[in-house]
């Protein structure tokens, strides 16, 4: 029998993956927090995907965390700060050699999950696809993108990658997933916190070029010191390119703060500063940015971790 895709978290990306896999004919089980969320899901009649204004609802099967059936393949689609605890609560259901796919942005949560379930194979995904929830259990596919998948502990690709292609999920295996995750983290650190502090769209940072340049120089230093020199190559030029290409957009961190949602700061700027400290790397501009961001979040009653 074909392996079921268990998908933990029916939020933006979880729903985007679940609906595409389901409509391509793969077996999919959503895993929701509790009976209350499951009842709310059943009341909606399924997951709705809005693609270019075309809305369709798919009756994807769903269960709660405490169902008992074993899990062989788990896509973890919750936020970085929820991942370790959510996966731990499923540890007793994981089949020997289960594959766990981690969609979390930033770094730090992947290692925490891998340490909590050492018998599983953990595969990290760096995604540039964009989706947001317009209602409960309804997701808008907002931005075409790509998914890089890789396992820092084992460069051999898994045998289920064809399922992505068959489902129209753009993706490719890479032996350098850490480089991809670090590069994305560095881009995020150079752009997102400043957009929050200056209350601006990405393009607003063109007026703060010197500050962006200083952050990029420190980020490149961290990347070189922690064994990721490839992620440091032409970082500043790439950051400038992203700022220009996305000038009209609000960053994900900006949107989180504007909507009073917890950010993933600890897995982005917080992680960069922690790694810098571990490698005794002097990064005054990044540390000051981190402090200003924490102050800003605290003043708005948002968690600073
Ligand atoms: P999201 O919309 O907030 O969805 C997270 C989901 O996880 C929610 O549905 C939440 O349930 C669920 N969840 C959390 N803890 C759970 C638990 N213990 N058991 C069951 N479900 C649990 O988040 P997202 O935007 O999809 O982001 C997920 C990750 O992908 C983040 O790290 C994000 O940075 C990354 N990412 C997102 C995008 C994007 O466009 N959205 C793009 C690239 C990367 P409730 O609904 O019950 O709260």
Tell me the best of 6, 7, 8, 9 to mutate to test the pocket of ligand 1, counting ligand atoms within 8 Å of each CB and taking the most: 9
Report the percent of the chain where pLDDT is more than 70.
100
Confidence of residue 16 (pLDDT cuts 50, 70, 90): very high
Q: Which residue is closest in CA terms to ligand 1's atom 40?
A: 130
Length of the chain: 305
Tell me the best of 62, 79, 253 to mutate to test the pocket of ligand 1, counting ligand atoms within 8 Å of each CB and taking the most: 79
pLDDT value for 115: 97
Looking at the domain assignment, is residue 305 inside a domain? no
Closest atom, ligand 1, to C-alpha of 143: 40
Is 140 in the same domain as 225?
no
pLDDT value for 241: 98
Looking at the domain assignment, is residue 257 inside a domain? yes
Is 128 in the same domain as 192?
no
Is 147 in the same domain as 46?
yes
- Tens digit of each residue's pLDDT (9 = 90 or more) over 1-15: 789 999 999 999 999
Measured in Å, residue 30 CA sits from the centre of ligand 1 at 13
Is 157 in the same domain as 264?
no
Is 155 in the same domain as 292?
no
Confidence of residue 57 (pLDDT cuts 50, 70, 90): very high
Confidence of residue 28 (pLDDT cuts 50, 70, 90): very high
The yes-or-no verdict on residue 120 having pLDDT over 80 is: yes
Is 197 in the same domain as 141?
no
Is 101 in the same domain as 20?
yes
Looking at the domain assignment, is residue 149 inside a domain? yes
For residue 14 the two structure tokens come to 């979880």
Is 36 in the same domain as 161?
yes
pTM over 0.95: yes
pLDDT value for 103: 98
Q: How far apart are the first and last CA of the chain?
A: 42
Measured between alpha carbons, how far is 32 from 40 in angstroms, rounded to an integer?
10
pLDDT value for 67: 97
pLDDT value for 299: 97
Looking at the domain assignment, is residue 304 inside a domain? no
Q: Which of 37, 99, 184, 240 is catalytic?
A: 184
The yes-or-no verdict on residue 165 having pLDDT over 90 is: yes
Closest atom, ligand 1, to C-alpha of 109: 32
The set of protein residues with a Cβ atom below 6 angstroms from ligand 1 is 8-14, 31-33, 37, 65, 77-80, 82, 86, 103-105, 127, 129-131, 133, 264
Is 137 in the same domain as 208?
no
Instruction: Give the chain as a DSSP string.
Output: -PPPEEEE--SHHHHHHHHHHHHTT--EEEEESSHHHHHHHHHHTSEEEEETTEEEEE--EEEETT--S-EEEEEE-S-HHHHHHHHHTTGGGEEEEEEEEE--SSSSHHHHHHHHSTTSEEEEEEE--EEEEEETTEEEEEE---EEEE-TT--SPPTTTHHHHHTT--EEE-TTHHHHHHHHHHHHHHHHHHHHHTT--GGGGGGGHHHHHHHHHHHHHHHHHTT-GGGGTTHHHHHHHHHHHTTTPPPHHHHHHHTTPPP-GGGTHHHHHHHHHHTT---HHHHHHHHHHHHHHHHTT----
Q: Is 53 exposed, middle or buried (0-12, 13-18, 19+ CB in 10 A)?
A: exposed
Of 131, 158, 175, the residue at which a domain comes to its end is 175
pLDDT value for 238: 98
- Please tell me the total count of domains within the chain: 2
- Tens digit of each residue's pLDDT (9 = 90 or more) over 78-112: 999 999 999 999 999 999 999 999 999 999 999 99
Confidence of residue 284 (pLDDT cuts 50, 70, 90): very high
Measured in Å, residue 284 CA sits from the centre of ligand 1 at 32
Is 67 in the same domain as 145?
yes
Query: Which domain CATH number covers 58?
Result: 3.40.50.720
Closest atom, ligand 1, to C-alpha of 83: 15
Looking at the domain assignment, is residue 104 inside a domain? yes
pLDDT value for 235: 98
pLDDT value for 108: 98
Is 32 in the same domain as 144?
yes
Q: Is 184 a catalytic residue?
A: yes
Of 135, 154, 175, the residue at which a domain comes to its end is 175
Query: Which domain CATH number covers 219?
Result: 1.10.1040.10
Q: What is the domain range of residue 128? A: 5-175
Is 151 in the same domain as 195?
no
- Tens digit of each residue's pLDDT (9 = 90 or more) over 212-255: 999 999 999 999 999 999 999 999 999 999 999 999 999 999 99
Q: Which residue is closest in CA terms to ligand 1's atom 10?
A: 9
pLDDT value for 121: 98
Of 145, 175, 205, the residue at which a domain comes to its end is 175
Q: Is 218 exposed, middle or buried (0-12, 13-18, 19+ CB in 10 A)?
A: buried
């Amino acid at each position: 029998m074909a392996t079921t895709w268990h998908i933990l978290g029916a939020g933006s990306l979880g729903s985007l993956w679940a609906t595409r896999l389901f409509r391509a004919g793969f077996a999919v089980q959503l895993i929701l927090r509790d009976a209350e969320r499951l009842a709310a899901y059943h009341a909606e009649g399924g997951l709705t995907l809005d693609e270019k204004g075309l809305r369709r609802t798919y009756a994807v099967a769903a269960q709660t965390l405490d169902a008992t059936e074993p899990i062989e393949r788990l896509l973890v689609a919750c936020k970085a700060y929820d991942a370790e605890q959510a996966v731990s609560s499923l540890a007793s259901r994981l089949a020997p050699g289960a594959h766990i796919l981690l969609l979390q942005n930033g770094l730090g949560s992947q290692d925490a999950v891998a340490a909590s379930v050492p018998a599983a194979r953990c595969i990290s995904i760096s995604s540039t696809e964009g989706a947001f929830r317009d209602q409960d259990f309804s997701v808008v596919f907002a931005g075409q993108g790509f998914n890089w998948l890789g396992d820092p502990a084992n460069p051999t690709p898994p045998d289920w990658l064809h399922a992505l292609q068959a489902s129209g999920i753009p993706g490719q295996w890479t032996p350098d997933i850490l480089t991809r995750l670090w590069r994305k983290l560095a881009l995020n650190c150079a752009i997102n916190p400043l957009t929050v502090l200056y209350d601006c769209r990405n393009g607003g940072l063109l007026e703060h070029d010197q500050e962006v340049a200083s952050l990029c120089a420190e980020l490149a230093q961290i990347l070189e010191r922690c064994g990721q020199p490839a992620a440091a190559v032409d970082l500043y030029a790439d950051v400038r390119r992203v700022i220009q290409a996305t000038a009209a957009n609000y960053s994900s961190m900006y949107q989180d703060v504007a909507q009073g949602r917890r950010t993933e700061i600890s897995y982005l700027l917080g992680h960069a500063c922690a790694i810098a400290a571990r490698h005794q790397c002097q990064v005054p501009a990044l540390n000051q940015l981190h402090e200003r961001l924490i102050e800003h979040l605290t003043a708005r009653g948002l968690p600073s971790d």
